[in-house]
Every structure is written in structure tokens, then in C-alpha cells.
Amino acid sequence: SQQQALMPVVSPTEMDNTWMAVLTYLQTGRHTPTGTMHPERWAQYGEQFANVFSGHITPVTVSQAIAAYERTLITRDAAFDRWLAGEDSALTPLQKRGMALFFGRANCSVCHPPPMFTDDAFHNIAVPQAGFEKPEHFPYNARIQAAAASHGWTVPLDVDLGRQEVPALQSSSHALGAFKTPGLRNVTLYRPYMHNGALATLEAVMQHYELLAAGERRPLVGELAFYVRYRKAFFGAQGGGQAEDIPAMVAFMQALQGTANRDTD
């Protein structure tokens, strides 16, 4: 995980930063290239690196700090795990109802299979747009627009194009609006939801899938990817949800919250 933490910082398709700029910010509080000063940040980071790394702020110590945090995200001993190990009372009756929906009629497990509750694949589930009010901040969209034009497609610049931003996939309609399926362990701790934070609560996420099952499409997101349509992988796909289904589903999500790993050395 330490090596992985080094890469996104300088990747042109991720943070698109430089280690010099990052270290300058951590050491002085000066944000490059704006020149904005954040002295409170410098004091905070300076004190923390002094306590843990004897004051040395380098790409290596930064990546060690990030990796240590990432290891705390590996959790264990969730109620679902205890139930799976034979402790029937680990789940409440409401959580068991939610689990039955998750693996049954709601069809969530098609894209969220255990143990990590993700298929590690990419899907377009018509998430509402959020954060693309300034399309000039997303130059990759201009490249995709040019590629799409050659196929007779019209792609607005203010739409989050998802995996179609990958150069090799710019001519693939299945990549349009597709994002990687997240794992659901500890999902109750990570509000807001979806790749862009467009949905504030888990209840809103369930309602979003209900709308999809009813055939609603949000504007400027395109059609659902073939995989999702074909597998009927959304809530209510087999007959629609009921009012009591959503609380049960949320209760089961709570059963996926485990104990944090504190062994970060």
C-alpha cells in the first residue's frame, strides 16, 4: 500500500501534482501555483511529522503516512462476518430481512458480491450530475468529445463521462458514465454517496435505484450500461420495492460495519 500511495500524487489523470509542490505545501503551508498561504496547515503537518518521522517530510514519509491511514480502513468482525461464522444472533431480524433482499429480490449482490461487496467492474447507473458546473476544469472531456463526434455522438462537456475518459475506451459507448463499483464494508460511515457525492444518504441511494427500476432516467447521463439493464441489477428489478424494504436494506448495510485495524506500524 505504501508504493501505491506514491502514484496518484503525480499521475496526470489523478491528482496531476508534483512532489515538489506537495512537499512545499507540507513544509511551508504555501499552495503552489496559487501562492496562497495556509500557516495553520503548516503548523499541523509540521508537528505531526516531527512526532512520527523526526520532522522529515519526504515522498517516502508522506507515502508511509498515507499507507498507515489506508491500513486503518481494513476492518474485521462485522456483524455479517459473525453471522456467517455461525453466530445467528449477530444480526437483528430487520438486518436479516435486509440481507434477504440484498441477495434476493433487490439483486444488489449482482454488483456487490461478498466478501468485499464489489465486483470490481464499471457500470453506468445513471447517477445525477454533480461537480461539473465548470467543464473547463475537465480537459479530458474535450478529447472525448472529438472522439465521440467521429461516431456521430454528441457528448456535452459538462457531463461526467466516467470510464470513457480512459483514452483507449473513448470510442466505447459502454464506458460512457461508467464508474467502478465501490465496496460496501463500512458504507454507513462514508456519506455522501456515489462517485460524486450526489446522494446524501443511503435512503436516497435506495430511492435512486427504485426510480431506475421504474424506468426513470436522469438528464445528461445517457442510458444504463447494457450489463446493468441485462442483469436487472438494481433495487426493485423483480417487482418493485415496498415501503419497509429501504429501512431493512439500510439496517443490513449497518451490519457490514467492522472494527478498525489499529495495527498500522
Domain range annotation of the chain = 2-72, 79-132+172-254
- HSE at residue 46, side-chain half, CA atoms within 13 A, is 12
- Do the beta carbons of residue 23 and residue 32 sit within 8 Å? no
Q: Produce one character per residue of 167-206: b if its CB has 16 or more CB atoms within 10 Å, e if not.
A: eebbeebebbbbbebbbbbbbeeeeebbeeebbeebebbb
In sequence order, the β-bridge partners of residue 180 are 122
CA angle 211/220/111 to nearest 5° reads 50
**CA nearest to 144, candidates 126, 127, 168:** 168
Sequence letter at residue 218? R
Is CATH 1.10.760.10 the right assignment for the domain spanning 79-132+172-254?
yes
Q: What pLDDT was estimated at residue 202?
A: 94
Q: Which residue has the higher pLDDT, 102 or 32?
A: 102
pLDDT per residue over 231-249, tens digit each?
444 444 444 456 678 999 9
Residue 212 exposed, middle or buried by CB count within 10 Å (0-12, 13-18, 19+): buried
CA distance 143 to 222: 18
Lowest mean pLDDT among 10-19, 64-73, 122-131: 122-131
* Listed range (59-73, 79-93, 143-157, 224-238) with the worst mean pLDDT: 224-238
Taking 60 as the threshold, does the pLDDT of residue 135 lie above it? no
| CA dist., res. 214 & res. 240, Å (int) | 8
Least confident stretch, 116-120, 143-147, 175-179:
143-147
Q: How many Å apart are CA 224 and CA 215, to the nearest integer?
A: 10
Q: Do residues 161 and 176 lie in contact, with contact meaning Cβ atoms separated by under 8 Å?
A: yes
pLDDT band at 181 (very low <50, low <70, confident <90, very high): very high
Q: 46-50, 127-131, 147-151: which has the highest mean pLDDT?
A: 46-50
Q: What does the pLDDT read at residue 233?
A: 45
Higher pLDDT: 163 or 120? It is 120
H or E segment at 130? none
The C-alpha cell that represents 103 in the structure block: 441477495
| Coil/strand/helix, residue 1 | coil
Mean pLDDT of 81-106: 95
SS3 54: coil
Say if residue 139's pLDDT is above 70: no
Q: Give the range among 45-49, 144-148, 169-173, 212-216 with minimum mean pLDDT.
A: 169-173
What is the per-residue pLDDT for 98? Answer: 96
From CA 66, how far away is CA 79, in angstroms rounded?
A: 28
Residue 52 pLDDT greater than 70, yes or no: yes
pTM metric for this prediction: 0.69
Q: What pLDDT, on a 0 to 100 scale, did the predictor assign at position 70?
A: 84
Q: Are 64 and 2 in contact (CB under 8 A)?
A: yes
Grid cell digits, residue 165? 475518459
173 has pLDDT over 70 = no
User: Which residues make beta-bridge pairs with 36?
Assistant: 31
More reliable by pLDDT, 83 or 131: 83
